[in-house]
Amino acid sequence: MVSLQDQVAIVTGASSGVGAAIARRLAELGVRVLVNYGQNQAGGEATRAACVAAGSDALLMQGDVSDESACIAMVDDAVARWGRLDILLNNAGTTTFVPHSDLDGLTDEVWTRTLQVNLIGAFYMSRAAVPHLSQQGGHILMTSSIAGQTTHGSSIAYCCSKAALNSLTRTLAKSLGDRNIQVNAVLPGLIDGDWAFGTWGEGDAEKYAGLKAMYENLAPLSHVVTADDVADALLSFLTGSRFTTGQLLTLDAGLTL
């Protein structure tokens, strides 16, 4: 397994869920982590504390990835503190629930915000990171979704943003290969956790339990993936072969088969 000791990573959207899980796991492997959050300062502080408790140096930074100046500042701060950058994990994302049949409900505001965060923010972060990743080779990872490959998702805009993120993953992988930068994505299905409970389950424990059971029954492996499962998949790209790039790894226990 490739050692990640003393490498440097930026994890966007790391105040909860997948971002918090992968930041913590990276810290446990000796990676120094810039923990980014958008609005949830308490969550960001908790993630940073977990990284420090794991024995890592960690930096907390607020920033909206839809703002290119914030993306540049994150990269600059990480390099200023640690002198290098090895891993960028584009995890920050947003969604607004709009039934696919409600075309009028899919407003310009919903489209703009969804694409700005889920797609353009990932591009801004990648563009800022590439000059530093190029110095020794490195990784850009995307947290995408099966919504980008299916017709299922919280809105048409969300599905389109993730489909575009998948395309960005592959086109960056091709264009950055000569700089020894690997670019890959993990595409989870429904992720068991607080977000799913509060949105899909609407905060109702009984309703959420039924929803989770339904997904478990539909999936060949009878499992709804967790944030830690997604972190495992992301880590596999970091610690595995140096010759894996442009890959879109579906992580849904077989649900979309």
Catalytic center residues = 158
* Contact present, 158 and 221 (Cβ < 8 Å): no
How many CA atoms lie less than 13 Å away from 22 in the CB half-sphere? 32
Q: How far is CA 219 from the centre of its chain?
A: 23
CA–CA distance, 197 with 191 (Å, rounded to integer): 10
| Alpha helix ranges (H) inside 54-120 | 68-82, 108-115
DSSP line for 42-76: HHHHHHHHHHHHTT--EEEEE--TTSHHHHHHHHH
CA–CA distance, 174 with 78 (Å, rounded to integer): 26
CA–CA distance, 110 with 114 (Å, rounded to integer): 6
Q: Which residues pair with 110 in a beta bridge?
A: none
CA–CA distance, 68 with 192 (Å, rounded to integer): 31
CA–CA distance, 53 with 51 (Å, rounded to integer): 5
Strand 248-251: give its sheet, edge to edge.
58-62, 32-37, 8-11, 87-90, 138-143, 181-188, 248-251
